[in-house]
Chains A and B, each alone.
Chain A
Amino acid sequence: MTAETIIQSLASGLLMGLLYGLIAVGLSLIFGLMNIVNFAHGEFLMLSMYGAFFLFAFFAIDPLLSMPLVAAGMFVFGAAIYLLIVRFAMRAKTNVGMVQIFATFGLAIVLRGLAQYFFTPDYRSITHSWLGGKTVSIGGIFLPVPQLVGALLAIVAFGALYVFIKRTDFGRALEATREDAGAVALVGIDQNRVFALGWGLGSALVGLAGAIMATFFYIYPDVGASFALIAYVVVALGGFGSVFGAFAGGILVGLVEATTALVMPPSLKAVGIYAVYLLVVFIRPRGLFGSI
């Protein structure tokens, strides 16, 4: 193993890591907002990827252009899921733990089934997109263009999210609701609306990630499952509910994955990430990074 291969794989690990951060941030946002884990998060990603795929297949819109459309679609979808399902799940009086897990878990199963039924279990991919299959060489290290663009996009998205949360009214309402939902209700902020918008925003972010991932990843009904697990790891690392912890957590997971792939058979590379999840929740249940 040369130094070059190590740098090469760490660099691609870093790029994937930034994308993982983008996939996970919506999950973390929602968790921080209302202490609910969306067990259908992976399926949201899967839908976004299909969205980009079909916009490309039918209307020849490149994923780079369809990205805002996918994000907007996912915003509506996420808000609708909150209003139609999650809102009611939060009202449970008995078996609360079960309801909160299985309401979105059942949704995940339904979405996966719908995808299998309507989209068939076939593996799809977007060929000949603007980014697809291209690589650039920076200082002798080859970087795939889609991942590179995805990573840049993730950085931009996190930056925008930061500004959004700190500078806008909705962002402040979001923050305030995270801190103390009860008090916020007293101030007259409609909690339901904040939650719905939070779900919309979280889903739109995963929509962005899905659109870019569609350019270099196979698209199939079960694609969300493994990414969902990765997203949980990222969220655990970053501190459950911490938006910017997800950014750092994503990078770390990308690097861990790349390192594991160097020393273990490729089919075992996920084991490294899963082990990190367990280590983190066992040792530091509140995550590695703060709680912003």
Chain B
Amino acid sequence: MMALLETRGVWQRFGGLIANADVSISVGRGEIVGLIGPNGAGKSTLFNLIAGVRPPTQGTIWLDGVDITATPATERCRRGIARTFQVVKSFETMTVIDNVIVGALIRTTEMRAARRKAFEVLEFCGLAGRADVMASELIPSEKRRLEVARALATEPKLLLLDEVLTGLTPLEAQTGVELVRRVRDTGVTVLMVEHVMEIVMPLVDRAIVLDLGKVLVEGKPTDVVRDPKVIAAYLGDRHAVGA
């Protein structure tokens, strides 16, 4: 079966610095895949390449068997890739529901339909009660959920989550994990970048470990955490192991 998302031999150089070196990964339909690795492993770079922030220096990116390497971010969203941001980027002067409507408007220009869709997504994400609050007044964990809601409103095939669980209290993180599972159950494929392994391992079907810009290991989360190469890579990074 053709994978939903594929990167083939992707390189990203910034001047002399190589952030991604020959990265080939694939994400199948309906999977939850974790993209993990120590600090500076090139996770965020790869994430941004998939989201369409910039084209890779070399290599190609495929969605549904279509080469989207040169497709700009806006168009990728239209084709079914939605993302969240590591540093939350809410529309602060808009209400929560208006934030989500922006996302919904890519599939319809009919305002009532967009509003209805946005409200459904808010209910799904547990934010319906905060619909008319200004986004700037949300607490951090709510802002994270708003990011997810906004992305879901674009009706993506592939949802890219950038450290949505990091920095949450255990209870909040648990709610987050459940939300991601429910998202997958609606048929959306999830690729999530996380720095801290422990949070994502129980959630993901498959983990891809990046180190020094390359794919180090990939496989079942239970296997990956025991892999000596992964342990070695994380050793210099106590914070992540200990968390």
Binding site for B on A (CB under 8 A): 93-95
Residue of B nearest to A94 (CB): B93
B residues with a Cβ closer than 8 A to A are: 92-93, 136
How distant is the Cα of A93 from the Cα of B93 in the complex, in angstroms?
9
Chain B contacts for A93, CB-based, 8 A? 92, 136
Residue in B closest to A96 when the chains form the complex, CB atoms: B92
Q: How far is the CA of A136 from the CA of B93 in the complex (A)?
A: 61
Give the distance in Å from the alpha carbon of A95 to the alpha carbon of B93 in the complex: 8
- Nearest Cβ on chain A to B96's Cβ, whole angstroms: 15
* B134 nearest in chain A by CB position: A94
User: Distance in Å from the Cβ of A229 to the closest Cβ of chain B?
Assistant: 31
Return the chain B residue nearest A95 by Cβ.
Answer: B93
Residues of A within 8 A of B93 (CB): 94-95
Least Cβ distance of A94 to chain B in Å?
Answer: 5
B140 CB to closest chain A CB (Å) equals 15
Complex CA–CA separation, A94 to B92 (angstroms): 7
Contacts of B136 in A (CB 8 A): 93-94
Complex CA distance for A95 and B92, rounded to whole angstroms: 9
- Least CB separation from B92: chain A residue: A94
Report, nearest first, the 6 A-B pairs whose CB atoms are least far apart: A94-B93, A94-B92, A94-B136, A93-B136, A95-B93, A93-B92
Q: List 6 A-B contacts (CB under 8 A).
A: A93-B92, A93-B136, A94-B92, A94-B93, A94-B136, A95-B93
CB proximity of B10 to chain A, nearest CB, Å: 28
Report the minimal beta-carbon distance from B193 to chain A, rounded to whole angstroms: 24
* Whole-angstrom CA separation of A94 from B136 in the bound complex: 8
Complex Cα gap A93–B135 (Å): 12
What is the minimal beta-carbon distance from A100 to any residue of chain B, in angstroms? 15
Please give me the residue from chain A that is nearest to B93 by CB atom: A94
Q: How far is the CA of A94 from the CA of B93 in the complex (A)?
A: 6
Contacts of A94 in B (CB 8 A): 92-93, 136
